[in-house]
Chains A and B, each alone.
Chain A
């Protein structure tokens, strides 16, 4: 694969540059893990304090949409992984379409999430904006939904960034793919998979607690 641009002066060679970029993405992911980690820690503290409230809150989530979204996101990740595997000038048309497909699935995820949000709004389950829940479990349910909204909103923000990355890369490498695009795609894919993994954790924490035992 050709490389159109000269290597920046701090790098000795193209592989040197590409491996360095990849390490950068791994370190960034470490940061992200701690960002979600802090949030999940707070979730566990409150779930420990209000086990029934959290279970009750969880039962009010839309597990069908949640599950569909998980499938959508996993498929999207698969398309990106596939694109990386076959990346070469000869296959670039397929690669571009795979990336566009992955980005579209990402958008579908966001749309489904929006539908979910609006359902919760109709059921008066949005703390701070419209929250009505009577009974002894109200505090726990409210805390559950606060975390639900913050976590999914932060996750959706990550999704939007990832979608932009995928579309940008698809447009850039469409004409003349270079090793540089391959490296960039590799880093973007790491990020996209991370967003995916984060969702899998959130899925378990959001949709399953109230449904496991009963």
Chain B
């Protein structure tokens, strides 16, 4: 039963977009904003890689270089990666997946976007007014006493955007608790929802700690008081503790949603149930919980006590266990599946490989002895890019392709999509694998000049970055083309059982014309799935 208007065609005025409370339209607002932030952050990365192609300083001064990597980090972490999957795909898909007509608090959802944009503009203002040179971590005493840049404004932007994160997390938690369709029990939830739930818990519990930390830092800087200043009794390490108490959990905000997407893709394109469903579901929550107890692994060389370091090292090994379980379960899902190499699946397979490398090198870094050698080198840079870019950004693209027909009602060019997926994989590895070698050989991060013997690997890395840049631009064109001229998509192009595929593409304004009722476990790819219509 299809209605002829969908959420895109109900109203065409600008007002209807900027005052919308429809979760699908808000998702589109986020999509559009995040593309902008992604390319601004990407531009900074491009300049960094051009500078590093030669050992000397030719393009920028050290001072400008500091501002470049700071801007890259701040934008990519807070204005792209943290909101990436939750606020776009999550916003669009969560209500559809649970058979609801919207999120629990639609107006809060819109408000969250406006807060996000306010934070984003504040930070952009700081950046274009002259930039920030503290690194994305805002370490004291540099950020409070010595830095001569727009620290407070940039921190204010991050602080504001944090409330947007909190509101989105809150909305998801309440929605998943309260708005599930009849029959949709917790163990029938698609695993994407379990991972978004875990993410939301982190958003709600960790972000306020970042807020108070930045507030303390800004107070010290503004009033010239010594909260973290050792000359008058303060402790700069306390800043690091508070910052990483947020930021380590935050790295899981930046991977859990990606893991969630991968479950959907792997099971759809091997036409099988996810292996060990309950393990994967609980692993998301385990990661969220244990992730709060490992922050000290960022401070092994800070002078914290050996006992603390040992405990944090041990806990870091523990937190890798649920991640590893997931990787094993995905590969077990592939086993004897009927595998289809459609574009989303190529992204998913890429994710598994890249995430595994990133996770395993995390274990290197969690070893106290090795970390002393590797910390603050390119090894760390490669580690987290394998997870954040190789993992999360790849998953983001995979999910975008998978749900694209639902979001836009159009099909994209499979040929170009596969080409981009393969290019991203190779470009990524060429960019970041050499950085492991550089780091192991001792090249420190955050410098714009380096000894000539490191040049080979840096040139390879910059070359890879060129491929990666092209590959990331490609979807802009073929997806952009598809959105307007692509072939019309059917309601369920992947023949998938999820509730989001039971309504038309694109969905009508309130998602479902009749309240769906769930009678099956998720991922029943073999038999026909039933979503019996029933009156609400």
| A10 touching B232, Cβ below 8 Å | no
**A16 nearest in chain B by CB position:** B178
Tell yes or no: A114 within 8 A of B by CB.
Answer: no
Within 8 A of B (CB), among A2-61: 8-10, 12, 16, 19-20, 23-24, 27-28, 30-32, 34-35, 37-39, 41-42, 45-46, 49-50, 53
Which among B178, B212, B222 is the interface contact of A20 at CB below 8 angstroms? B178
Which among A8, A10, A41, A140 is the interface contact of B233 at CB below 8 angstroms? A140
- Residues of chain B within 8 A of A138, CB atoms compared: 232
- Residues of chain B within 8 A of A38, CB atoms compared: 208-209, 212-213, 242, 245
Tell yes or no: B226 within 8 A of A by CB.
Answer: yes
Q: Taking chain A's interface residues, is the majority helix, strand, or loop, or is none over half, making it mixed? A: helix
The tally of CB-CB contacts under 8 A between chains A and B is 106
With both chains docked as a complex, state the minimum distance between the C-beta of A115 and any C-beta of chain B, in angstroms.
22
Given contacts A19-B178, A31-B170, contact A127 B225 (CB under 8 A): yes
Given contacts A32-B208, A128-B225, contact A142 B233 (CB under 8 A): yes
Q: Mark B83-101, 1 if CB is under 8 A from A, else 0.
A: 0000000000001000011
Within 8 A of B (CB), among A106-129: 127-129
| A10 touching B235, Cβ below 8 Å | no
Given contacts A45-B238, A143-B227, contact A10 B95 (CB under 8 A): yes
| Top 10 A-B pairs, shortest CB-CB distance | A128-B223, A139-B233, A35-B208, A38-B212, A10-B102, A38-B209, A128-B225, A34-B208, A9-B101, A20-B178
| B216 touching A37, Cβ below 8 Å | no
* Segment from B199-207, B262-270, B404-412, B489-497 that makes contact with A: B199-207
- Residues of chain A within 8 A of B106, CB atoms compared: 8, 10
The winner among B219, B225, B226 for most chain A CB atoms within 10 A is B225
10 A-B pairs with C-beta separation under 8 A: A8-B106, A20-B179, A24-B171, A31-B204, A38-B213, A38-B242, A46-B235, A49-B235, A129-B223, A146-B227
| B179 touching A10, Cβ below 8 Å | yes
Tell yes or no: B177 within 8 A of A by CB.
Answer: yes
**A141 nearest in chain B by CB position:** B233
In the assembled complex, the Cα of A30 lies from the Cα of B234 at a distance in Å of 28
Count of A residues near B, CB < 8 Å?
Answer: 36
In the assembled complex, the Cα of A27 lies from the Cα of B172 at a distance in Å of 11
**A129 nearest in chain B by CB position:** B223
| B242 touching A35, Cβ below 8 Å | no
With both chains docked as a complex, state the minimum distance between the C-beta of B28 and any C-beta of chain A, in angstroms.
19
In the assembled complex, the Cα of A35 lies from the Cα of B233 at a distance in Å of 23
With both chains docked as a complex, state the minimum distance between the C-beta of A24 and any C-beta of chain B, in angstroms.
5
Tell yes or no: B418 within 8 A of A by CB.
Answer: no
With both chains docked as a complex, state the minimum distance between the C-beta of B426 and any C-beta of chain A, in angstroms.
42
- Residues of chain B within 8 A of A127, CB atoms compared: 223, 225
Tell yes or no: A150 within 8 A of B by CB.
Answer: yes
| A23 touching B174, Cβ below 8 Å | yes
In the assembled complex, the Cα of A34 lies from the Cα of B178 at a distance in Å of 24
Tell yes or no: B389 within 8 A of A by CB.
Answer: no
In the assembled complex, the Cα of A41 lies from the Cα of B234 at a distance in Å of 14
Given contacts A9-B102, A35-B212, A38-B242, contact A30 B205 (CB under 8 A): yes
| A34 touching B233, Cβ below 8 Å | no
- Residues of chain A within 8 A of B242, CB atoms compared: 38, 41-42
**Residues of B participating in the A interface, judged by any CB pair closer than 8 Å:** 95, 100-106, 108, 166, 170-171, 173-174, 177-179, 204-209, 211-213, 215-216, 219, 222-227, 232-235, 238, 242, 245, 510, 536
- Residues of chain B within 8 A of A27, CB atoms compared: 170, 173-174, 204
- Residues of chain A within 8 A of B238, CB atoms compared: 42, 45
- Residues of chain A within 8 A of B102, CB atoms compared: 8-10
In the assembled complex, the Cα of A138 lies from the Cα of B226 at a distance in Å of 12
**A35 nearest in chain B by CB position:** B208
- Residues of chain A within 8 A of B177, CB atoms compared: 23
Which among B101, B211, B225 is the interface contact of A10 at CB below 8 angstroms? B101
With both chains docked as a complex, state the minimum distance between the C-beta of A208 and any C-beta of chain B, in angstroms.
22
| A143 touching B101, Cβ below 8 Å | no
With both chains docked as a complex, state the minimum distance between the C-beta of A44 and any C-beta of chain B, in angstroms.
11
In the assembled complex, the Cα of A28 lies from the Cα of B105 at a distance in Å of 13
With both chains docked as a complex, state the minimum distance between the C-beta of B182 and any C-beta of chain A, in angstroms.
9
With both chains docked as a complex, state the minimum distance between the C-beta of A195 and any C-beta of chain B, in angstroms.
15
The winner among B101, B178, B226 for most chain A CB atoms within 10 A is B178
| A31 touching B235, Cβ below 8 Å | no
Which among B166, B206, B225 is the interface contact of A146 at CB below 8 angstroms? B225
| B234 touching A150, Cβ below 8 Å | no
In the assembled complex, the Cα of A53 lies from the Cα of B232 at a distance in Å of 12
**B167 nearest in chain A by CB position:** A28
- Residues of chain A within 8 A of B178, CB atoms compared: 16, 19-20, 23
In the assembled complex, the Cα of A38 lies from the Cα of B204 at a distance in Å of 13
Which among A9, A31, A49, A53 is the interface contact of B207 at CB below 8 angstroms? A31
| B225 touching A24, Cβ below 8 Å | no
**A32 nearest in chain B by CB position:** B208
| B233 touching A31, Cβ below 8 Å | no
**B213 nearest in chain A by CB position:** A38
Which among A9, A34, A41, A140 is the interface contact of B206 at CB below 8 angstroms? A34
With both chains docked as a complex, state the minimum distance between the C-beta of B176 and any C-beta of chain A, in angstroms.
11
In the assembled complex, the Cα of A75 lies from the Cα of B258 at a distance in Å of 49
**B210 nearest in chain A by CB position:** A38
| B205 touching A31, Cβ below 8 Å | yes
In the assembled complex, the Cα of A34 lies from the Cα of B536 at a distance in Å of 39
